[in-house]
Structure 1
Amino acid sequence: MKVLVAEDDLASGKFMQKLLSKYGEVVLARDGIAAVDEFVNAVSTNERFDLICMDIMMPKIDGYKALASIRDAERKLGTPRDKRCKVIMISALDEGFDASYASDDYEEYMCKPIDIMKFDSLIRKLEII
């Protein structure tokens, strides 16, 4: 499994990296633009991501805009909907999350702090591992 973690908070990013490294390669992007760049670079080398953990509040562009760019890139590449990268949106602010904004573009939402057991159960439910 190859995972992209888009997280501007270094401690949260390292936590997610450590949590997911037991399942495969983890790439950490520190802002929305870096996340989109990592995604496009992976696609161009035919090393697609299986999962993206996308923080919502990030500098440069937020998680919503980064995800929209990623989904747009998948559409341009002709990626079938059932072959798209799975996405989990993550935020520290549960009440600040707008579930209607991009609900068709991501699979799940989790609030920080990440519960390890719930997260593990979630990625198994998504059939990523």
Structure 2
Amino acid sequence: MRVLIAEDDLVSRKIMLKILKPYGECDVVMNGIEAVDAVYFSIKEKNPYTLICLDIMMPKIDGLSVLKTIRDLEKQEHLDASKVIMTTALDDEKVVREAFEVGADAYAAKPINKTKFYDVLRKFEILNE
């Protein structure tokens, strides 16, 4: 499994990396531009991400805009969509609803709850347990 963690918060980034590292190759970026670049290059290398953990409130480009770009790139290249977990500290139902409308597969509130995060990964059937 190949994973992209796009997260500007150090604590959340470390938690997700600790959870996901045993299951595959993890790349970490800290802003929206880096996230778009990482996805673009993974597609061009013909090694797209299986899972993308994407913060909604990131510097340079917000997570919703990044997700729209990712879904457009996947369509252009006729790829199966990566699983995307949106993460945020926001308690805004409108933003969460918009994330699902844009193409998110799951939502994780911060601080990241390890048990709930594992449950989402099991639901996606991407853990080798």
Describe the SS at the equivalent of 1:102. Answer: helix
TM-score (normalizing by structure 2): 0.91
Equivalence for 2:84: 87
Aligned partner letter, 2:38: E
Hey, what's the Cα distance between the residues in 1 that align with 2:108 and 2:37? 24
Query: Which whole-Å deviations, capped at 9, do the CAs of 1:53-88 have from their partners, x for residues lacking one?
Result: 000000000000001111110111122xxx210000
Shift of 1:128: 1.7
Residue pairs, 1:1-80, within 5 angstroms: 1-79=1-79
Relative to the length of structure 1, the TM-score reads 0.91
Contact 1:91 1:97 in 2 (8 A): no
Q: Shift of the alpha carbon at 1:118?
A: 1.0
Task: Give percent identity, aligned residues only.
Answer: 44
Structure number with higher helix proportion: 2
The AA in structure 1 aligned to 2:36 is V
Match of 2:99 in 1: 102
CA RMSD of aligned residues (A): 1.3
| Partner SS state of residue 54, structure 2 | strand
* Pair 1:63–1:75, CA change in 2 (3 A): same
State the 1:117 CA deviation: 1.1
Q: Distance in 2 between matches of 1:46 and 1:99?
A: 30
Q: Which string of whole-angstrom CA distances, capped at 9 and with x for unpartnered residues, describes residues 1-54 of structure 1?
A: 111000012232122111110111110011011001001111111111000000
Distance change (3 Å), C-alpha of 1:60 and 1:96: farther
Equivalent residues, number:
126
Moved more, 55-64 or 11-20: 11-20
Q: What is the SS of the residue equivalent to 1:60? A: coil
Conserved 8 A contact 1:32-1:60: yes
